[in-house]
Structure 1
Amino acid sequence: MEDYLSIYLPRDKHDFERVYNLPTLSPSIVNSIIPKLVEWLQDINWPIATEIAEFLLKHPEETIPHIKEVLADLARIALTPTEGEKLEEVNETAQEILKMIDNV
């Protein structure tokens, strides 16, 4: 990602100012920062995560490919984990998440 785009992204998990400015950005800037915004969803307990999720829901066509990437990585971790992922039991968590998705 271009460095100049970082001025549009939250600086930390409490940066509501930048999150509230997201709707004012041009479509080209929004499209460019969506991958980084998706990263803020990794912990929905972060204060800004819900607002970012609500923003991304308004841009489904641009967001879905990035969500698919996350799900593909989750499947890889569940099916073919690295030794480190096995040691940390990340693969088990990934398997549980995929089971929950299948039950939805």
Structure 2
Amino acid sequence: MVNPHDLIPKHKSDFDSINQLKLCSKAEIRPIIPELFTWLQDSNWPISAEVRNILFQFDMELIPVIRQILNSNDSSWKYFVLIHFCKQLPNALLGKLTYELNRLSTNPSENDKLEEVDQIAQEMLRTFYR
């Protein structure tokens, strides 16, 4: 059995690790979900889309990690996670993030405003409540 920790990408073009991760079961990948989210810090990185696809197979186990990101000081990471990941989550999962989305939309930091995190959060809430 492969140790998934050995398959955490080492660099932004580490497709060898991504291809091996694709062969792993959900149970094998589950312990490294937080580490995989680090590869969503910039959607321009070559492996970012592949990591998103791997993470999309999970559901409730994503929420604590997403909350941690949305409560961080890294506005750029918040932006990329919201715009390229959370927007594609099913409403059942997105509903678990309404507290964070409300906070980001009504009380954003200056950096969140610069990255337009507040606007994305507002848009996501409007879509959710339609």
Query: TM-score, with normalisation over the residues of structure 2?
Result: 0.58
Partner of 1:99: 119
Runs of 5+ consecutive residues of structure 2 not aligned to the other structure: 74-99, 125-130
Q: CA deviation at 1:31?
A: 1.2
Larger helix share, 1 or 2:
1
Contact between 2:14 and 2:47, CA under 8 Å: does it hold in 1?
yes
Aligned pair count?
91
Q: CA deviation at 1:5?
A: 4.7
SS at 1:73's partner residue? coil
Q: Segments of 4+ in structure 1 off by > 3 A?
A: none
Runs of 5+ consecutive residues of structure 1 not aligned to the other structure: 81-90
Partner of 1:23: 22
**How many angstroms apart in 2 are the aligned matches of 1:44 and 1:25?**
23
**How many angstroms apart in 1 are the aligned matches of 2:29 and 2:7?**
9
**How many angstroms apart in 2 are the aligned matches of 1:31 and 1:66?**
12
**CA RMSD, Structure 1 to Structure 2 (Å):** 2.7
SS at 2:12's partner residue? coil
Query: TM-score, with normalisation over the residues of structure 1?
Result: 0.71
| Higher alpha-carbon deviation: 58-67 or 21-30 | 21-30
Residue identity (%): 31
